[in-house]
């Protein structure tokens, strides 16, 4: 036997075919031939030696392109071999699903194909996840504002809206801010404070917090004007102290209260100083302990002269056997708006009010002086003593010596 085999045809991979003619030749050279084909075929799928595995990566905000490309290029980590040829890998990746932020998932089928078209497939998932909390770039800051009496709504709203000045970011998505503010604590007046937690949440529900305190304080004193001064004549007419004389008290944070504090004068108790000045101090306080003191001056200036009414004139006859008469003089009637009066008389000769007054007219000039020294106008009182007694004649004999017949008498 002989055959004409030379080589197999070059088919896919290591496959091929050959049509061989076999020739039988006898010793005399007679021949007979038969032809048949020898064929190598490949119908076996490639073997998956290493399975594709899922890949989970932390979101970088840009689709994690490098990680994805590397995973796809590595066929998800799968490995394959074939006894007949090399293996070519392909995959059906199109896009990631649209999940929270820049996360997503893709289920990818990796196909290993040999030169003859036999295929084996394996599937795995590429997952971009976000498990990282947002970062706080700037922490929230405390804010203290002066009380405006109405809750400082504008300042509080602005502070809450700005998240207390805090900033935050996230590599995978934008952040949403929220806070747990409910109300301010109830302190003095309209002051108060609140510890607020600001929360920055990313699209995947991860969150970070920062805290700060908003405080409404009152360090501003209330306002009030000094009560109007009072001018009166007499110390005795000074009114009782009354907190209602303070009429325009006001405060930025609460209704202030008024209390009496002290008083002083320029002369002491029982003084006759004029003008007499009494200074009263009232304290205006708010609910937070801030206060101012206001003063009211009450001036007693007794500048009114007292008045006087002179006693009636007196007319008497002389006392018997005297060249005058004993007279009792009563004080005039004096009055003053503020004090008792002192009587002043023009009698400078030492005669008392009850004394001997000579025959004739005696004028007494009266005035009164009050405690402050104001003196009334003067008035006159006339005391008239009349001598109505008949004189007594006393006759005496006179002896005159006679000389030359002539006598001389001097009466």
Q: Could you report the per-residue pLDDT of 79-107, keeping only the tens digit for each?
A: 999 999 999 999 999 999 999 999 999 99
263-278 pLDDT, tens per residue? 998 875 555 566 889 9
pTM exceeds 0.75: no
* 153-166: b (≥16 Cβ within 10 Å) or e: eebbeebbeebbeb
Residue 348 above 70 pLDDT?
no
Tell me, rounded to whole angstroms, the distance of Cα 151 from its chain centroid: 9
Of 169, 71, 208, whose CA–CA distance to 126 is shortest?
71
Least confident of 84-98, 159-173, 368-382: 368-382
**Structure-block tokens of residue 275:** 């003008």
Tell me which of 6 and 330 has the higher pLDDT. Answer: 6
Q: Which residues pair with 104 in a beta bridge?
A: 128
Element (H, E) at 67: helix 65-73
What is the pLDDT, as a whole number, of residue 331? 84
**Structure-block tokens of residue 317:** 């006859």
Least confident of 70-74, 280-284, 299-303: 299-303
């Amino acid at each position: 036997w002989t055959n004409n085999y030379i080589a197999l045809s070059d088919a896919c991979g290591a496959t091929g075919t050959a049509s061989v003619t076999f020739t039988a030749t006898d010793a005399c050279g007679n021949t007979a031939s038969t032809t048949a084909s020898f064929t190598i075929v490949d119908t076996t799928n490639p073997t998956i030696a290493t399975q594709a595995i899922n890949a989970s990566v932390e979101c970088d905000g840009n689709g994690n392109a490098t990680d994805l490309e590397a995973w796809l290029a590595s066929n998800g980590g799968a490995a394959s071999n074939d006894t007949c040829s090399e293996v070519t890998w392909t995959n059906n990746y199109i896009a990631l699903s649209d999940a929270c932020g820049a996360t997503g998932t893709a289920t990818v089928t990796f196909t290993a194909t040999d030169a003859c078209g036999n295929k084996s497939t394996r599937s795995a998932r590429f997952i971009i996840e976000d498990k990282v909390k947002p970062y706080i770039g700037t922490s929230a800051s405390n804010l203290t504002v002066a009380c405006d009496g109405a809750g400082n709504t504008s300042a509080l709203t602005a502070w809450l809206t700005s998240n207390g000045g805090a900033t935050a970011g996230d590599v995978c998505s934008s952040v949403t801010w929220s806070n747990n503010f409910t109300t301010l604590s109830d302190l003095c007046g309209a002051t108060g404070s609140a510890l607020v937690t600001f929360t920055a949440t990313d699209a995947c529900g991860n969150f970070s917090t920062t805290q700060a305190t908003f405080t409404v304080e009152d360090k501003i004193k209330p306002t009030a004007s000094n009560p109007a001064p009072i001018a009166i004549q007499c110390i005795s007419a000074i009114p009782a102290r009354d907190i209602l004389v303070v009429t325009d008290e006001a405060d930025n944070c609460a209704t202030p209260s008024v209390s009496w504090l002290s008083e002083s004068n320029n002369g002491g108790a029982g003084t006759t100083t004029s003008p007499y000045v009494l200074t009263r101090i009232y304290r205006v306080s708010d609910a937070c302990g801030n206060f101012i003191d206001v003063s009211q001056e009450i001036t007693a200036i007794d500048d009114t002269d007292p008045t006087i009414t002179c006693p009636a004139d007196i007319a008497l006859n002389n006392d018997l056997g005297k060249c005058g008469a004993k007279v009792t003089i009563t004080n005039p009637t004096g009055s003053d708006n503020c004090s008792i009066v002192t009587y002043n008389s023009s009698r400078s000769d030492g005669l008392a009010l009850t004394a001997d007054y000579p025959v004739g007219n005696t004028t007494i000039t009266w005035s009164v002086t009050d405690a402050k020294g104001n003196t009334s106008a003067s008035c006159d009182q006339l005391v008239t003593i009349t001598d109505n007694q008949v004189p007594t004649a006393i006759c005496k004999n006179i002896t005159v010596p006679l000389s030359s017949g002539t006598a001389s008498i001097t009466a």
